[in-house]
Amino acid sequence: SAVISQKPSRDICQRGTSLTIQCQVDSQVTMMFWYRQQPGQSLTLIATANQGSEATYESGFVIDKFPISRPNLTFSTLTVSNMSPEDSSIYLCSVATFTSGPGYEQYFGPGTRLTVT
């Protein structure tokens, strides 16, 4: 398994500002993802964080709004830029690790609860 930590765990921010969320994994992983979970909703995939190259964004998400860095195999950041109240959500970091068996296992961090006022 992989142990994932996120910073900050929660924050309250003013509209128009930006927040950078950090994700640290205790082992090297091939794949890292960022998700958003709005209140009462399921998880929505924002992007796949690629090590050494630009992230791959899902439809509806753009780099200018959610810039992502992944400088190595254990760390990634997600920035929520120019925030509005609609960005209030839980942001989750996730990693996928290959196992000795087929397929892979995906693990999630505890999430960052963001409130924009």
Instruction: Please choose, out of 11-19, 20-28, 77-85, 100-108, the segment that lies near another protein by the rule CB under 8 A.
Output: 100-108
Ordered alpha helix ranges (H), 15-116:
none
Q: Hey, how many other C-beta atoms are within 10 angstroms of the C-beta on 50?
A: 14
- Dmax (CA) of the chain: 46
CB of 89 to another protein, least distance (A): 13
Residue 43, judged by CB atoms within 10 A of its CB (0-12, 13-18, 19+), counts as middle
The reply to whether 111 sits near another protein by the rule CB under 8 A is yes
Site residues for another protein, window 32-61 (CB under 8 A)? 33, 35, 42-45
CB of 82 to another protein, least distance (A): 26
Q: Is the Cβ–Cβ distance between 50 and 63 less than 8 Å?
A: no
CB of 48 to another protein, least distance (A): 8
Contact residues toward another protein (CB under 8 A) are: 1, 4, 31, 33, 35, 42-45, 92, 94, 96, 102-111
